[in-house]
Copies of this chain bind each other. A is one copy, B any other.
Amino acid sequence: MAVYTDVTDEALAGFLGDYEIGEMVAFRGIAEGVENSNFSLRTTQGDFILTLYEKRVDPAELPWFLGLMEHLAARGIVCPLPVRGRDGVALRHLAGRHAAITTFLPGVWPRRVRAEHCAPLGAALAALHRAGADYPPTRVNALGPAGWSPLLLGCLERAGDLPEGLAHELETALAGILADWPEGLPVGHIHADLFPDNVFFLDRRLSGLIDFYFAATDILAYDIAICLNAWCFEADMSFNVTKARALLRAYAAERPLSAAERAALPVLCRGAAIRFALTRLYDWVNTPPGALVTRKDPMEYVRRLRFHCSARDEHAYGL
């Protein structure tokens, strides 16, 4: 539910005066995204998204994100393209926040994932990884393996609130994941949050990828593991291997997976599951009652983690 900061019409009119994108026609808050304030903006020249960056995003990193989107868009990835002002600058200020306007992408994100979504997703993820290969600057993944122990510690400080046995389960699983974490796998820029609500489809075709504000430089196959977690479990937490196989085959057709990458899938999936379990758990124990954010259930990812812990090898994922 993402309008944390509102914008006066005068401030908005002044802000738009710094762009050459026509006159304002409509302006509505968007009830999607959880980190920033997003508005749908229509001008006489078309449709745009206005984003106000809220406190979770480090302003120093915004040029990296916007630069990545420009880079990817220039290489044919359909993603929001930052719009530059008259002075050539895309990252600006509005209502006391860093702000940027990006292009509007048509499409609808799949509320219910079907197998037919997963092959286009896999292909788009591989294309994203290939297109990012020649974007030189890097960004450390703050939510990568090195961040998980501090995150778990932050949760356990309130362990009184956790279900019986969960703390021990997470500690044991995390120790195993960190011990098994692969080295030497291909690294590049990953989306790191490619959940269904960040992928648009139109007429059964993938029409765009959005929300690059968790993107970072990390193991490419870890991005696949995030998608396997986000797209291939059913509501009852059963794993849909048909979806996984479609995703992996379409990915590999665009960017072949090495034997080492394939073999690492189970631990990468365990890592991806614990990463989302931990951030959700952290938000859960640290969100004051009455705060205007949706707390997502961490147990959904604990249950995914259990599945991955039971996977003997990559064949569990349909390979």
Contacts and interface: CB of A to CB of B under 8 A. Distances in A.
Interface of A is mostly: loop
Interface in A11-32: 12, 23-32
The copy count of this chain in the complex is 2
A202 B9 CA distance: 10
A108 B30 contact: no
Contacts of A201: 9
A108 B289 contact: no
Given A290-B289, A290-B290, A42 B9 contact: no
A6 B25 CA distance: 27
A27 B108 CA distance: 5
Nearest to A112: B8
A161 interface: no
Contact of A108 (B26, B110, B202): B26
A110 B9 contact: yes
A185 B161 CA distance: 59
A203 interface: yes
A83 to B, nearest CB: 18
A202 B25 contact: yes
A257 interface: no
A26 B107 contact: yes
A203 B23 contact: yes
A188 B290 CA distance: 39
A237 interface: no
A106 B6 contact: no
Contacts of A9: 108-112, 201
Contacts of A105: 26
Nearest to A37: B31
Nearest to A114: B10
Contact of A29 (B27, B32, B104): B32
B30 A111 contact: no
A217 interface: no
A241 interface: no
A35 to B, nearest CB: 14
Interface in A90-111: 104-111
A310 interface: no
B7 A106 contact: no
A294 B3 CA distance: 12
A1 interface: yes
A29 B39 CA distance: 11
Contacts of A42: 106
B8 A31 contact: no
Contacts of A23: 203
